[in-house]
C-alpha cells in the first residue's frame, strides 16, 4: 500500500536517488534539503507515514530533527529512519535516545530500503 514519505537530505543526489526508489515502489515522496525545511513542511500540515533523514546536515543534524519532530502534536509515534555513512554505536545510541526508529548506512541499496520500510511502516 502506498505511503507518504518525507526524505530530508542536504545532498540533491541522495534526494533524487531515494525519491526514485520510493516512487517506483508506489510511494508519494516529499523532499526537504534541510532539517529546518522539513520542520516547516511538517508545521504546514504534512503528515507523512515515515520520515527518512540524513544524519550530517547543515545547522541542524538528523538527531536534532528527530527530537524536534517527536515534540510535534500527532507526530510523536511516526517512524523515523536516520541515514548516514557513520556506523559508530554511540551515534546509533544517540539516535535511539532521540526517538529514531532505525538506522541505515549509506550507500542504501533499493532492496534494503524497501525492506526496512516494510518493517517499520504498518501496511507498507
- Show the domains of the chain with their CATH numbers: 4-119 (3.40.50.2300)
DSSP annotation of 7: E
Sort residue 53 into left (φ over 0), alpha (ψ -120 to 50) or beta.
beta
Give pLDDT tens digits for 62-116. Answer: 999 999 999 999 999 999 999 988 777 888 888 999 999 998 888 888 999 999 9
Work out the number of other CB atoms within 10 angstroms of the CB of residue 16.
13
Take residue 112 and report the three cell numbers written for it.
Answer: 534494503
Instruction: Say if CB 35 and CB 53 are below 8 A apart.
Output: yes
Q: Is the peptide bond before 107 cis (omega within 30 degrees of 0)?
A: yes
Give pLDDT tens digits for 46-58. Answer: 999 999 999 999 8
Give pLDDT tens digits for 13-46. Answer: 999 999 999 999 999 999 999 999 999 999 999 9
Q: Which of 65, 64, 62 is nearest to 85 (CA)?
A: 62
What band does 124 get if pLDDT is binned at 50, 70 and 90? confident
Determine the Cα–Cα distance for residues 119 and 121; give it in Å rounded to an integer.
6
Q: Which of 100, 92, 46 is nearest to 68 (CA)?
A: 100
Q: Is the dihedral of CA 53, 55, 56, 62 positive or negative?
A: positive
Amino acid at each position: 500500500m502506498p505511503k507518504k514519505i518525507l526524505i530530508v537530505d542536504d545532498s540533491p543526489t541522495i534526494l533524487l536517488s531515494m525519491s526514485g526508489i520510493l516512487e517506483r515502489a508506489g510511494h508519494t515522496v516529499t523532499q526537504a534539503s534541510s532539517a529546518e525545511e522539513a520542520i516547516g513542511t511538517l508545521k504546514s500540515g504534512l503528515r507523512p507515514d515515515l520520515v527518512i533523514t540524513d544524519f550530517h546536515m547543515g545547522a541542524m543534524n538528523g538527531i536534532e530533527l528527530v527530537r524536534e519532530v517527536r515534540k510535534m502534536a500527532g507526530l510523536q509515534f511516526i517512524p523515523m529512519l536516520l541515514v548516514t555513512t557513520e556506523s559508530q554505536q554511540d551515534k546509533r545510541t544517540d539516535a535511539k535516545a532521540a526517538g529514531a526508529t532505525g538506522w541505515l548506512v549509506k550507500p542504501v541499496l533499493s532492496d534494503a530500503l524497501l525492506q526496512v520500510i516494510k518493517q517499520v511502516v504498518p501496511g507498507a
